[in-house]
Structure 1
Amino acid sequence: MAGITSDQRHSRQLASSLCHHISGLLGLRWELRGREHLEKNRACIIVANHQSSLDILGMFDLWPVMDKCTVVAKKEIFYAWPVGLAAWLCGLIFIDRMNSEKARSALNTATKEITEKKIKLWIFPEGTRHNTGEIHPFKKGAFHVAIRSQLPILPVVFSSYYFLSAEEKRFDSGHILVTTLPPISTEGLSTDNVEELIEKTRSAMSEVFHATSREIQQSLSVR
């Protein structure tokens, strides 16, 4: 993983602008809470729930707040254009979920630089997207990276995509609450604590996911 150059930063700003425009055309409004946790100039491992390729639009909507950030995403995202185009412009780290050794190597390569240059590393730990009203079990990779580098976990939660249904072939305009939770320290933890860290993170994210999803639904019902 090369350093974030001025050209890459320009590309990421361009991608952010492109995705913001796409969100506007689709009628999607992303509302950020916990901004103060996201804008701090520090290295951390961001973990976010994964419901759809629309997550990339939400992520890039937050890009001006995060500034120095890079992202690990499954290679299938590349083919979900125009979102995939924006991801490619930003130099996302695409991994092959079917090749765990290569995926692990990509994460290990990224770790040293994000620590030295205070870059945020964004990972979707569910791996496979699920728009089912739940946050599904997490894979361990992000948490091993966080513990090995002693970097905090920064949870980011997207409320439910109530406006999207593959079964009904429905895509409406929508309002999404994006909540950044306080960082979860990994200081002093070892690989023996991975499961505990995963459970702590997922539990906190699930609670916020259900609360913000209910809040959005209630606001719709009173309109």
Structure 2
Amino acid sequence: MENSGGGALLRNRRFESFLNTSSGQSVEETPRILVKDESGERPRNDVYADDDDGWVSAIVSWVRIVTCFVSMMVTTFVWALIMIVLIPWPYERVRQGNIYGHVTGRMLMWILGNPVKIEGAEYNNERAIYISNHASPIDIFLIMWLTPTGTVGIAKKEIIWYPLFGQLYVLANHLRIDRSNPTAAIESMKEAARAVVKNNLSLIIFPEGTRSKNGRLLPFKKGFVHLALQSRLPIVPMVLTGTHLAWRKGSLHVRPAPLTVKYLPPISTENWKPDNIDDYVEMMHKLYAEHLPETQRPLP
């Protein structure tokens, strides 16, 4: 799994509201310090709590971010040309979109230099609905790299208007939904599920619907359960830890925090019933809370 890749979820910081270095490297336990959050002062495994890391660190971080941006623009342009040639072959465009994600996501993580530990890699080749918590731009790079070939993402339909990235997303035959009203959103979800089943695809989605500001798990939306009920695909949770410390929301400073990607065993949805949607959402949310460190769990 260490060199396997995943989904072409093409997103930058401007459209994250839509939808590894050495993967065998272990994450070292970091010193415990005291920080304050909404629940008061508590110990926290976070040596990156202070935003002032010095000007040398800031310059290195800026160089890495600019290098990431330029590198991603180059690979995006190259694969956009490939996609245009493959317009008559929709599934081949999905495959090429995934290859783009494998190459680009892996490259971006190498540039950033964060040590990454991968657990449960045996579950990464399932045909399934992959879900992931979301607290950092780095989540996008990891998802691009690590979800399997034959995986499509879901974004709101307006993504097409984002220069180059949006057009490549559409060319890669990924799915878009209409979130203008609840009825349209549900119908779009049904159409997305039919497309996934018809073409034997997997799916990747962020059930929180947006990015957490502080790394703590947000409430889950119901869309991924609707997709499961329509497709009957199993759900494979991907639990990401440490990404909010490496690259925080609203910051352009990337830190060398260790990251962990943990795949949990597939959860069958064959016997799920439409009447119990809220129960399934709550069950999956609790499962994530159990596998996240204390500093990323939702507050009471």
Q: Secondary structure at the match of 2:203?
A: strand
Q: Distance in 1 between matches of 2:188 and 2:145?
A: 25
Cα drift, residue 29 of structure 1: 4.1
Identity %: 30
The 1:81/1:62 distance shift into structure 2, 3 A limit, reads farther
The 1:101/1:59 distance shift into structure 2, 3 A limit, reads same
Q: Distance in 1 between matches of 2:111 and 2:157?
A: 25
Whether the 8 Å CA contact 1:74–1:127 is kept in 2: the answer is no
Give the TM-score of the pair, scaled to structure 2.
Answer: 0.59
**CA deviation string 1:145-199 (max 9, x = no partner):** 2123332222111113212234665322333211111122222221111111111
Q: Secondary structure at the match of 1:20?
A: helix
1:195 aligns with 2:278: yes
Whether the 8 Å CA contact 1:34–1:180 is kept in 2: the answer is yes
1:24 aligns with 2:106: no
Cα drift, residue 36 of structure 1: 1.4
Whether the 8 Å CA contact 1:50–1:128 is kept in 2: the answer is yes
Higher Cα Rg, which structure: 2
**RMSD of equivalent CA atoms:** 3.1
State which of 75, 82, 104 in structure 1 corresponds to 2:186: 104
Aligned to 1:58: 142
Q: Distance in 2 between matches of 1:208 and 1:68?
A: 27
Opposite residue 52 of structure 1, the aligned amino acid is: S
Opposite residue 34 of structure 1, the aligned amino acid is: G
Cα drift, residue 93 of structure 1: 2.2
Instruction: Flag structure 1 segments of 5+ consecutive residues without an equivalent.
Output: 215-223
Whether the 8 Å CA contact 1:125–1:141 is kept in 2: the answer is yes
The farther-off stretch of 168-177 and 148-157 is: 168-177
Aligned to 1:120: 202
Cα drift, residue 21 of structure 1: 1.3
Q: Distance in 2 between matches of 1:114 and 1:58?
A: 22
Cα drift, residue 32 of structure 1: 2.2
Residue pairs, 1:129-140, within 5 angstroms: 129-140=211-222
Q: Distance in 1 between matches of 2:89 and 2:190?
A: 15
**CA deviation string 1:46-94 (max 9, x = no partner):** 221121333221111104xx11111113467778888767745643324
Cα drift, residue 27 of structure 1: 2.1
Q: Secondary structure at the match of 2:238?
A: strand
Instruction: Flag structure 2 segments of 5+ consecutive residues without an equivalent.
Output: 1-87
1:144 aligns with 2:144: no
Q: Secondary structure at the match of 1:162?
A: helix
The farther-off stretch of 119-128 and 24-33 is: 24-33
Opposite residue 174 of structure 1, the aligned amino acid is: A
More strand by share: 1
The 1:167/1:117 distance shift into structure 2, 3 A limit, reads closer
Whether the 8 Å CA contact 1:134–1:206 is kept in 2: the answer is no
Whether the 8 Å CA contact 1:159–1:212 is kept in 2: the answer is no
Q: Distance in 1 between matches of 2:205 and 2:199?
A: 18
Q: Distance in 2 between matches of 1:154 and 1:186?
A: 11
The 1:5/1:123 distance shift into structure 2, 3 A limit, reads same
Opposite residue 197 of structure 1, the aligned amino acid is: Y
